Amino acid sequence: MEPRCFSFGPFVLIPERQLLLKEGSPVRVGTRALEILTVLVERWGELLDKQKIISLVWTDTFVDESNLKVNIAAIRKAIDPIDSKSSCIVTVIGRGYRFVEPVKVVDMDALIGQSKYSVYAADCPHKANRSWTESSSNLVCDVREERQRSI
pLDDT(128) > 60: no
* 72 within a domain of the structure (yes/no): yes
12-27 per-position pLDDT tens digit: 999 988 999 999 899 9
Q: Determine the pLDDT at residue 1.
A: 53
> With bands split at pLDDT 50, 70 and 90, how would you rate the model's confidence at 131?
very low
In sequence order, the 6+-apart residues with CB closer than 8 A to the CB of 15 are 3, 4, 6, 34, 38
* 127 within a domain of the structure (yes/no): no
User: Does an H or E element contain 91, and which?
Assistant: strand 89-92
Local structure of 8: helix, strand or coil:
strand
* 150 within a domain of the structure (yes/no): no
* 28 within a domain of the structure (yes/no): yes
- Domain range for 75 is 6-110
In this structure, which amino acid lies at residue 38?
T
DSSP code for 51 = H
40-81 per-position pLDDT tens digit: 999 999 999 999 999 999 998 899 999 999 999 999 999 988
* 61 within a domain of the structure (yes/no): yes
How many domains are contained in the chain? 1
